[in-house]
Each structure stands twice: as C-alpha cells, then as structure tokens.
Amino acid sequence: MDFRKQIANIITISRILGSIYLLYSPVFSISFYIMYLFCGITDMIDGIIARKTKSVSELGARLDSVADSAFVAVCFVKILPLMEFPTWLWNWIVIIAIIKICNVVWGLISNKKLVSMHTILNKATGLLLFLFPFTLRFIEPMYSSVIVCSLATVSAINEVYYTRIGKEVF
C-alpha cells in the first residue's frame, strides 16, 4: 500500500484524536488553543492533500465528516456552556440548528443519501465559527455571535434552496 495515498486519511484521523484531546483540555488554555488551531489546520489541508495525491476516497470523505462532527461537538460542549448569551440569542442558535437538521433530513429523504453542502456561505460560516474563540478576548461575544448567527442563518436558508432543488454543492 502506497503511504502517500494514506497521508490525507492520517491527517483526518489526527483531527479526531485532537478533538478528543480538546475534550479533556482546559478551555481557553494555551494547550487548548494550540490543539484547536491544529484541528482547524488539519481540516483545511486533508482535502487538499487528498486531491493533490489523487487519493480522494469514500472512506476519506466519511472520515472527514466524522472528524468535522467530532470537532464541532467537542467545541460546542466545551465553549457554549461558558457563554452568557441572552435567551433570544440562544433561541436563534437553536433555530439555525433546526434548519440545518431539517436540511439533512430532507436531503436523506429526497436523495436517499447524506447530502453535505460545501457552499461559499457554509465555508464562510465555518471560518467565522472557527475564529470565534480567538476573538473572545477583544470582541464582546454577543456581538461576534450576532455576526456568526446572521451568516449562519443566510447559509442555512441557502442550503434549503439547494436541498429543495436536489443540487449537491461541493
């Protein structure tokens, strides 16, 4: 087996392990930020490396989804409980989550498979979400949260459109 063909999957697996490390790391400590940054960088480069080495695979795509889900779940579990948001903002976050879940369910029902949208708006939302912990020291969390939620809302509604017309965006 050619090792170069496995590099992208190894990087993706390292993000899963990094997410587990984050789960047990003190939030906002130096080690937390270093591992958080490592997970973000591996998320950006695993796909690029897979395409460059012509090793894109169904396994790699599934591993990437697992790694993304693990990273996001750990970050929500670790960071959100520390946020003191007003009720309306929590409600907004829940509404965005419901829209995203409905999009996944609709995609499963209409396309008989898990549909993952890789739109520019989703990528921009992901970037803002990734940067959020780094902004906590110099931007009031509620203000940056409103910006993230606004973009996430537009992105989720954009996903509704693509999901309804049955177009998967990569």
- The yes-or-no verdict on residue 49 having pLDDT over 80 is yes
For tokens 């080495």, what's the residue?
53
Find which of 24-33, 63-72, 100-109, 110-119 is predicted with most confidence, using mean pLDDT: 24-33
Closest CA to 40 of 130, 148, 158: 130
Cβ burial, residue 26 (10 Å; 0-12/13-18/19+):
exposed
Q: In residues, how long is the chain?
A: 170
pTM of the model: 0.82
- Mean pLDDT across the chain, nearest whole number? 89
The residue-averaged pLDDT of 47-55 equals: 91
The two structure tokens encoding residue 4:
């170069």
Residue 41 pLDDT class (50, 70, 90 cuts): very high
Under 8 Å between Cβ of 102 and 159: no
Amino acid in position 25: S
Burial 141-159 (b: 16+ CB within 10 A, else e): beebbeebbebbbebbebb
Residue 166 confidence (pLDDT) above 70: no
- 30-52 vs 58-79: helix crossing angle, rounded to 10: 160
- Asked if residue 49 lies in contact with residue 9, where contact means CB atoms within 8 angstroms, the answer is no
| Token reading at 31 | 């080690």
Q: Residue range 17-45: average pLDDT?
A: 96
Q: Print burial letters for 69-78: b (CB count within 10 Å at least 16), e (below 16).
A: ebbeebbeeb
